Amino acid sequence: SLIPFLSQSGIKEDVPPVELVLMIDGSRLSDQLKIEVARTVNQVAEEYNVDPLLILAIMKVESSFRPTVTSHRGAVGLMQIKTIAAREVAKELSLNTNISMSTLSHHELNIRIGVHYFASLMKRFGGNIWKALSAYNRGPTAVARNFGSQHITRKSYPGRVLAAYLAYSKLRKEPILKS
């Protein structure tokens, strides 16, 4: 839990939760990048009506807040987006579809595309966060085809994201989620 860390670290209670998460878990980000990521997360969270702490939980599990990391499957950046998915989302957002791994590693574009994609999965799966998170990780076709056969555990991708989200939500004065 992050709460004991806060009391020992002397971090003020009036720091907004997004900034607080980035102060605690975003050690791989420069101070300037923390400010930019917080601004972008808050902006797109409002645009897409997605809790900014859920976005940060996805980032934590996907990239451990490493903005330039590339997975063995070619997913890039904080939200671990593949270029093929990024091009599809860019088309939906009327953005330039000539997206490379290099441009996708830019935090603002990466977060915007990742949140748009996640929000579309939430809509596609009727607001079922477990299915949307599974689809974000495994692809929507795989989830639509065989979701019932997936084991639901805390160690699964959705379980890890939701565990981080629960920890982050406790940083609010009025937590949305309680354990």
Q: Which residues of 148-172 are buried (b: 16+ CB within 10 A; e: fewer)?
A: eebeeeeebbbbbbbbbbbbbbbbe
Which residues are within 8 A (CB) of 139 and not within 5 positions of it... i.e. 6 or more apart? none
Here the contacts of 51-55 (C-beta below 8 Å, separation 24 or greater) are 51/165, 51/169, 51/176, 52/17, 52/18, 53/17, 53/18, 53/21, 53/165, 53/168, 53/169, 53/171, 53/172, 54/161, 54/165, 55/111, 55/114, 55/115, 55/118
- Fill in the amino acid letter for 112: R
* Ordered alpha helix ranges (H), 66-106: 83-92, 101-104
Q: Which residues are catalytic?
A: 62
| Tokens read off for 114 | 């990742």
